[in-house]
Amino acid sequence: MIRSGTDIARTIGTLRAQRGVTPTATLVALVAIGFFPVLVPNTYWTQIATTIWLYAVLAIGVNVVVGYAGMLTLGHAAFYGFGGYVAALLMVRSGVTWIVAFLAAGVLTGILGLLLALPCLRVQSDFLGLVTIAFGSLFTVFATNWDSITGGPSGLAGIPPATLGPIQFTTNQDYYELALSLLVVVFIVVRRLERSAVGRAWSALRDDSISASTLGVPVLYYRVLAFVIGSAIAGFAGAIYAPFITVVSPAAFNLNQSLLLVEMVIVGGLGSLPGSILGAGIFFLIPQIFQSLLVYQVGIGGAVMVLVMARRPQGLLGKTAFGQSLRGGPIARYLATLRAHAANPLTGASGTPHTGAGPHFAGAASASRPVFAGTASSLDSRPLQDATSAGVGESSGMAQFSTQEDIDASA
């Protein structure tokens, strides 16, 4: 099972590249994944696999916010839960069919995301991390205390099975296929977004929001859009979770789940869709081997996260780390070319302005970097401050400081 789990992730990973794997092999692997519950008729493993697909969907939603748009969301399980509760309430109390509840859950969760992100992102995207933590605990507080609506700590039970026209989803196998279908749809939609103007805008504002806005990218709009999409995806997943487990309770959507999602995305790979699936697989399969470590799952993930940030900021399958793709990115190359022109109109034209390459442009970086070494470093992460300090540096070259020794001594 473990082997097939990673194989699945790897196979889907190669779908993007379409290189090295023949279409036949891809097809066989996909069919194998689709028929997994038939090939391995084991309820336990079918449930685990279904959970992995649901968390892979959630991780993709988090990846849109964290990996693509470069913001931190630490309360995403609350959106998952909100979607689950909306679907459950609609189905149990109002008796609407599942597909209506499913759509309503996604849309309402997206609106909730909009209401949360708008005031926050208007000010500063850094704050989103803490606001979403607070929102996550708030969700738990309300789900636990607002008995009349949410059913209190024990939650809402007796959720009827999902139905889609004449099809009724009753067994674990049915929900396996349902969750897998959602994953495929979400994967394709987000992949399309990534390769559209939206995806390029995200990568530009993630790497350098000031440069992006000077180039005409409406930064606030795209940040909010990323957050709304990420929340809506979680809402849809919640609407599958509810009839799958048949109970929604506050404990299933607590802070630990949110943190786990961020860990999956970061370890799996920032801005990498196969990475999100791999991350979900890793975090659910490894505890199956080391059962006793399950309680420390989040903490161990935290340690891995620190390590990943310091040593491999792009994660396992990620192509770009925050701010790093910038050096070879279209904006950086464009600005570098402009500066080179300004500095030396005759010889500075060596760089090609904006080649229109897609979001992955790692190769071109090394060629242009040595030439524009100074520019590249000042574009790094705090362009304005670096620019001012460069000014200070020039003037300070002329004088030695009388205060230097004082301060050194104190330090």
Partner 1 sequence: MNFYLQQLVNGLAAGSIYALVAVGYSLVYSILYLVNFAHGDIYMFGTFVALALYEAGLPFALAAILACIVGGAIGLLVERIAYRPVRQANRIVPMVSALGAALVLEAAAQLIWGVQTLSFPQEIPQKIIHAGSVILGEQEIVIFIVAIGAMLLFTAALRYTKIGKATTAVCQDLEAAQLMGIRVNVVIMTVYAAGAVLGVIGGMLFSTYYDAVYIGMGILGTTKAWAAAMLGGVGNIYGAVAGGLLLGVLESLSGTVVGSGYEEAVPLVVIVAVLVLRPAGLFGRRLTERV
193 binds partner 1 per the rule CB under 8 A: no
Applying the rule CB under 8 A, the residues between 287 and 306 that interact with partner 1 are: 295-296, 298-306
Q: Per residue in 75-103, is it b (16+ CB within 10 Å) or e — as a string? A: bbbbbbbbbbbbbbbbbbeeeeebeebbe
Name the residue nearer to partner 1 (CB basis): 43 or 388.
Answer: 388
Q: Measured from the CB of residue 313, what is the shortest distance to partner 1 in angstroms?
A: 6
Tell me if 103 sits within 8 A of 222, measured CB to CB. Answer: no
Scanning 52-60, 91-99, 126-134, 353-361 for contacts with partner 1 by CB under 8 A, the matching segment is 126-134
Q: What is the C-alpha to C-alpha distance for residues 82 and 88, in angstroms, rounded to an integer?
A: 10
Taking the least distance from each CB to partner 1, the nearer of 142 and 334 is: 142
Cα–Cα distances in angstroms (integers) from residue 196 to residues 95, 124, 272, 314, 359, in the given order: 39, 25, 15, 21, 10
Give dist(CA 175, CA 179) in Å, integer.
6
CB of 364 to partner 1, least distance (A): 20
Interacting span for partner 1 (CB under 8 A) from 32-40, 53-61, 124-132, 160-168 = 124-132
Exposure string of 235-244, with b = 16+ CB inside 10 Å and e = fewer, is bbbbbbbbbb
Report d(CA 40, CA 53) in Å as an integer.
16
- Residue 114 found at the interface with partner 1 (CB under 8 A): no
The DSSP-derived string for 288-329 is HH-GGGGGGHHHHHHHHHHHHHHH-TTTTT-S--TTTHHHHS
- Note whether 152 binds partner 1 by CB under 8 A: no
Nearest approach in angstroms of CB 403 to partner 1 is 7
Residue 379 near residue 332, CB atoms below 8 Å: yes
Cβ at position 300, least distance to partner 1 in Å: 7
CB of 309 to partner 1, least distance (A): 4
Strand residue runs (E) in 41-180: 162-164, 167-169
Examine residue 398 and tell whether it contacts partner 1 (CB under 8 A): no
Q: How far is the CB of 376 from partner 1 (least distance, A)?
A: 13
Residue 128 · residue 121 · CB < 8 Å: yes
Mask of contacts with partner 1, 235-274, x by CB under 8 A?
A: --------------------x---x--x---x--------
Stretch that binds partner 1, among 88-96, 136-144, 337-345, 365-373 (CB under 8 A): 136-144
65 binds partner 1 (CB under 8 A): no
Nearest to 12 by CA among 53, 50, 43, 41: 53
Residues with Cβ < 8 Å from 118, sequence gap 6 or more?
224
Per-residue string for binding with partner 1, 366-395, x by CB under 8 A? --------------xxxxxxx-xx--xx--
Binding mask of the shown chain, residues 70 to 109, with x at each position contacting partner 1 by CB under 8 A? xxx-x-----------------------------------
197 part of the interface to partner 1, by CB under 8 A: no
According to DSSP, the residues that pair with 168 across neighbouring strands are 163
In the complex with partner 1, the residue whose CB is nearer, 119 or 158, is: 119
Instruction: Please name which of 327, 383, 329, 372 lies closest in space to residue 354, comparing C-alpha atoms.
Output: 329
Stretch that binds partner 1, among 21-29, 56-64, 282-290, 320-328 (CB under 8 A): 320-328
**Total residues interacting with partner 1, rule: CB under 8 A:** 73
